[in-house]
Chains A and B, each alone.
Chain A
Amino acid sequence: MDLQQGSIKDLWKAIYNTGDLHHCFNCSTCLSGCPASHGDPPLLVRNLARKVILGLEEELLNDDTPWACVSCSKCEEMCPMDVKPFEMILAIRQWQSANDETRVPPSIVEIYKRGYTQAVGVNTDLRDKLGLPELKTITNNPEQLQFFREMLMKTPVVSANDYMFGG
């Protein structure tokens, strides 16, 4: 990646104009406990911060991972530099939307299809090992899912883009 060509110096001002951002020293605290980092592709909060700081506009615009955040706020609580990563993620989402009005976050498609954004399920194995019963989720409850889809279809963002949800 050529930083001369591919980066906008002051992009961060447009996205997350706060002094907190620059405190980030890439310690990875935000990564190590992030539930959305289990997803595919994983949400890598630290990398988002780096992209914002470097001003990698194109990469950021096409990055869907901010939408995978489940808002657990662990990163927010544990970030030693007080970067307030969750706020940064919201800011990125906002910026992405503002820069592409037609943007439909893929996570909404996922919600429509599955009933939730990302499969996290870190404890499934452990539950199994401990002999605990499988938890009831929306996936194994088709009626609920159907009802949920209908509800979604009534929202403007979904109905206006129904071709994407055709499934």
Chain B
Amino acid sequence: MAEKKPTGTVLVAGAGISGIKAAIELAEGGYKVLLTDASTQIGGILAKLDYQFPTDHCGMCRMLPMVGREYGSQYCMRKSLFHENIEILPFTEITSVQGDGGNYKVELLKKARLVDPAVCNEMGECIDVCPVEVPDEFNHGLTKRKAIYQAIPHNTPKMLLIDREACTKCGECVKVCTTNAINLDAQDEVETREVHSIVLASGVKLYNTREFEDAKSYAVSPDVVTSLAFERMMSSSGTYEGGVIKRPSDGKPAKNIAWIQCMGSRNRRQKRDYCSSICCMFALKEAVLAKEKGGPEVDTTIFYMDMRTFGKGFQQYRDKAVDEHGVKLIRCRVQGVMLKPDGSLEMRYFDPETNEFFVKDYDLVVMSTGQIPFETHKKWADLLNAPLDERGLLATEQYSKIKIAGKPGLFICGSLMGLTDVSEAMSSGIAAAGEATNFLTTLGVDILKEEEIAEPTAHERENSLVSVALCKCGEKVGADGIDYELLSAELLRYRGVGEVNVIDSICKAEGETTTNDILGKTKCNRLLVGACQPFMYRRKLKNVARKAGFNSSMVEIFDLFGIARRGMVEPSVGDWTLRAAREVKSDIERLKYKPALHVSTLPINQTALVVGGGIGGMQAALSLATRGVPVHLVEKEAHLGGYLGNQVEHTIDGLAPVAMASDMKLKVFENKNITVHLNCEVEKTVGTLGSFESKLHFKDTNENTYLHHGAVIMVTGGHEGATTEYGYGTSDKVLTQAELKKGMASGNIDAGGLENVVMIQCVGSRQKEGRHYCSRICCMWAIANALKIKEVNPEARVFILYRDVMTYGFFEQYYTKARTAGIIFMNYSLENKPQVEMVEGNPVVKFMDTVLNTEIELPADMLVLSTGVDPEESNQRLADAFGVTLTEDRFLAEADSKWRPIEFQKVGLYLAGTAHSPMPLKSVIMQAEAAAQKAYTYLSGREVHTAGVISKVKDALCIRCQRCINICPYGARSYDEVEKCIVVDPAECQACGACAVECQNNAAEVTGWSDKQLMAAIDAKLMDDLLMSTAE
């Protein structure tokens, strides 16, 4: 007999969005996850944000899994997260990590909350009586909280805790607590856990005004706030409850608001010579929202150095902020803020557009505070005994942003890689989960398998009879809670209720036994359980039901305490009980008319199709193939490698794409699991998750092949953009950066002979006509080429004419390095583009220098143009073949720009790399890894269970008007031309009900949310007075 393998367990340290994403992906893959966070709650920075750029909306819930929805959270993720495979440990620090190579012993310090959430009934009387008031850190000290408090207002459960530093141990809270949930002497606990892999997602410390001396000349008043504090000032659950933004000092509406960028970042003096990457977009978003909230009379100004709008859609956002919302951008770093006697904040600045000084008063100044990464990295390096790189950051493997160097099984994601936006946090979280999965599959650990209990046939008798089980929650509710006798009696009188039982703690083992007994004896055919957190043990309870011979969909759980309490401040026992009775009746009705649900199972063809044989495509293919997944790798050219792998020898950050690609090509051709198809394109793909069929067309032979596969990853790249500007094409002295790079590498261009070189950035880019986006890599390319010239010929003068230098994150160091090397950066504006004239065969560049405010003439031996990155023209054909869409800029359009960056709306189709948007090589590799992981989650098994709650077609009623197909936001419905009927793809359908409403005669219906059920629920809501009257 084979020894039982241990279940693969991963510690994800840090429960911000990247950690949560990594945890969900691992949990969906069947691994057990420990998700810890040093702070009191999960959610990280995003817990504070109501709006995220670039869409200015939330939508965090969209990161939840699309298939098998019922296993994860089923509500707002800012409330909390439930997943059966994830154990969440907030307020927990990692104090030691021992072991190596897949066997880690982790010591966890679980800090005492002093309030036991398992016992607390969340009535909050303790908060009322607590005499201690301290600044509330969630609102950045802009409001006060008590020593006993709820850390995040929207968390469910509330998870109260006591701030030990603030608590005076007066004991008032203990006196009023009816459930003995408070123990003022509770101690921190230390626990050791064994895990196989660790993903660090802790994020990094942020710059703050208390600690850093360079903040002192700005933070002169409470009206100078950090950008995160400003988020709380805008939030509905924040300082001003979502209303008009005011000055914290005196509550006057803030009419003039200024943002100061790069607070704490891009500062060589303070040894922080890096960019924090997200602050520019953050400030733009905040300025737009401030205007939206406060009206057009609110004046918003951002003081910046370079407006770094390098991500997908960022440039459009900037243009919209400026052109449509009137956000002012001024390229000037102000030296300080002066507090005037009337409380206003004076700033003096130099406006390079008018070449004048201005002194202006502001009501509010927001400091765009950046990252302080080194402490956090040092802490982790010490704990993990991992190396730091020369910058002082955790060293990662050469080509990876994720894998910690020399430490198999240890990974980082999210803002530990440098502050990331939501999209990158998502990609990195998935990629980290992917790398961890990759690692775990080599260890021979097991995954958690769902307990397979056959679903009994439904008890669908003519008349439904409901058994109600009410959980007392371990007497949590206490004496002044629900009157169970009254509630039972009331419910028993309700039509359709066969019996009412009161159970002690349904979540515990005893409760399970009791439930089992009830189900064994009952004459009823449906069970409704009233308990506290319905999502926590839903699956467990459903398994109990199945064992007892009940169809699991005939068992429902409702949040007894939540609904009973909702909207009441100081309810009496009677209030609680009556409200509970009223509320539960509509749940009874809903259950009475609920049909048995059946989860569809999709067979999975465990083969992947990867489109695009560049480095990203090869990475995705290899990642899947090494995990045993057969891969078809399709490349339209005659050879693998793509643009980077064939054209680019070196990148500025020390990578060698060509060498890497040739190494990968060998691995690809050696790998038995990978079949390479060259010279061909996918012409048409049909099917659904698990069973796609693609038609490959070989252009040379004009032949077709058909491939069958279960998922698709599109990793089509891009290439250097074309231009006719600045005399390109008229002289061999005007060339592109790629041409220069190649020329120097091949020796065709001798940098030694150059005296003056001029480079122009953003050629045809970041403008409405042309590439309306930043290509993200050109600044680095230009700097790399310029440095190369300087290396060969230190006497050469190199001028780089730029609009904004986009050396975001730790790329900033190369910008600094370039200037140190004497490369001269000169700014030009889009309105005043450089002019190029050819004089005696040499280009002469004329432009307006915004620093000296003079026309400058630069005669050059060579003019080098950064022409950006163009998407592959094959993208359109690809989009047509797969039924996906392109953005205006002809990149592939992902499902959701923030929360689902590497997925398409259609489940089973993924994208990565430059197909998404231009990005540096390491980011391409990260996305490719992430896409591979998404595909692997489904391809690792022979079948995938979809959800039971799903839209169905009642064919006999259906008139085939196809309105449901048109209205479905997921493309889950289609018309089967052969069978002449409407079909629903159970993997795509998210049960939103759009089709059910659009369909006039209920031929389309969401099972479990039928009109019959909902109308019965409405009845129950409106008839309650009638029925309750006799009870009172």
Contacts and interface: CB of A to CB of B under 8 A. Distances in A.
Interface in B755-773: 756
* Residue of B270, B815, B824 with most chain A CB atoms under a 10 A cut-off: B824
Contact of A32 (B214, B350, B797, B859): B350
Contacts of A50: 849, 851-852
Interface string B648-666: 0000000000000000000
Contacts of B350: 28, 31-32, 37, 44, 46
Contact of B820 (A3, A23, A51): A23
Nearest to B351: A28
B827 interface: yes
A38 B858 CA distance: 32
A63 to B, nearest CB: 11
B269 A80 contact: yes
Given A32-B349, A80-B262, A81-B269, A19 B336 contact: no
A152 interface: no
Nearest to A53: B824
* Residue of A1, A9, A27, A37 with most chain B CB atoms under a 10 A cut-off: A27
A81 B267 CA distance: 6
A135 interface: no
A47 interface: yes
B855 interface: yes
Contacts of B855: 1
Nearest to B815: A25
Nearest to A34: B335
A108 to B, nearest CB: 26
A38 B356 CA distance: 11
A98 interface: no
A28 B333 contact: yes
Give the interface residue-count category, chain B: 35 or more
Nearest to B265: A80
Contact of B333 (A1, A19, A29, A51): A29
Interface in A54-83: 54, 74-75, 78-82
Interface in B485-524: none
Contacts of B262: 80
Contacts of B269: 79-82
A53 B855 CA distance: 17
Nearest to A55: B797
A27 B856 contact: no
B698 interface: no
Contact of A2 (B268, B825, B857): B857
B196 to A, nearest CB: 44
A52 B236 CA distance: 52
B857 A1 contact: yes
A19 B818 CA distance: 12
Contacts, number: 102
Interface in B784-802: 795, 797
A33 B756 contact: no
Interface in A14-32: 19, 22-32
A4 interface: yes
Given A2-B857, A26-B827, A50-B852, A32 B332 contact: yes
Contacts of A34: 335
Nearest to B304: A27
B819 A32 contact: no
Contacts of B459: none
Nearest to B859: A4
A24 B851 CA distance: 12
A82 B266 CA distance: 11
B851 A46 contact: yes
Given A23-B816, A28-B332, A32-B335, A80 B854 contact: no
B920 interface: no
A118 B530 CA distance: 80
B542 to A, nearest CB: 59
B186 interface: no
B407 interface: no
B857 A78 contact: no
B305 interface: yes
B819 A22 contact: yes
Interface string B421-453: 000000000000000000000000000000000
A19 B305 contact: no
B357 interface: yes
Given A25-B305, A28-B350, A80 B852 contact: no
A134 B192 CA distance: 72
A68 B909 CA distance: 66
B266 A80 contact: yes
Nearest to B795: A9
Contact of B857 (A3, A9, A79): A3
Contacts of A130: 341
B352 interface: yes
Contacts of A1: 852, 854-857
A3 B331 contact: no
Contacts of B827: 26
Contacts of B822: 22
A78 B855 CA distance: 30
A42 interface: yes
Contacts of B332: 27-28, 31-32
Contacts of A82: 268-269
A23 B859 contact: no
Contacts of A78: 214, 217, 335-336
A100 to B, nearest CB: 22
A33 B348 contact: yes
B241 to A, nearest CB: 36
A74 B214 CA distance: 12
A34 B825 CA distance: 23
Contacts of A24: 819
Contacts of B815: 25
Interface in A75-99: 75, 78-82
Interface string B314-357: 00000000000000000111111000010000011110100001
Nearest to B346: A126
Interface in B664-722: none
B682 to A, nearest CB: 46
B335 A4 contact: no
Interface string B829-870: 000000000000000000001011011111100000000000
Nearest to A3: B858
Contacts of B854: 1
B449 to A, nearest CB: 56
Nearest to B350: A31
A4 B333 contact: no
A138 B335 CA distance: 30
A136 B569 CA distance: 66
Contacts of B821: 22
Given A3-B859, A50-B852, A80-B262, A42 B357 contact: yes
Contacts of A81: 267-269, 816
A2 B859 contact: yes
A82 B271 CA distance: 10
Contacts of A54: 824
A11 to B, nearest CB: 12
A37 B795 CA distance: 34
A26 B859 CA distance: 23
Given A22-B822, A27-B333, A28-B332, A4 B756 contact: yes
Given A1-B854, A28-B350, A74 B268 contact: no
Contacts of B859: 2-4
Contacts of B341: 130
Contacts of B217: 78
Contacts of A23: 268, 816, 819-820
10 contacts: A3-B857, A3-B859, A28-B333, A31-B357, A33-B348, A74-B335, A78-B336, A80-B268, A80-B270, A81-B816
Given A1-B855, A80-B270, 4 more contacts: A1-B854, A46-B851, A79-B269, A82-B268
A-B pairs, top 10 by smallest CB distance, nearest first, are: A33-B335, A27-B333, A82-B269, A80-B267, A28-B332, A31-B350, A2-B857, A29-B333, A4-B859, A32-B335
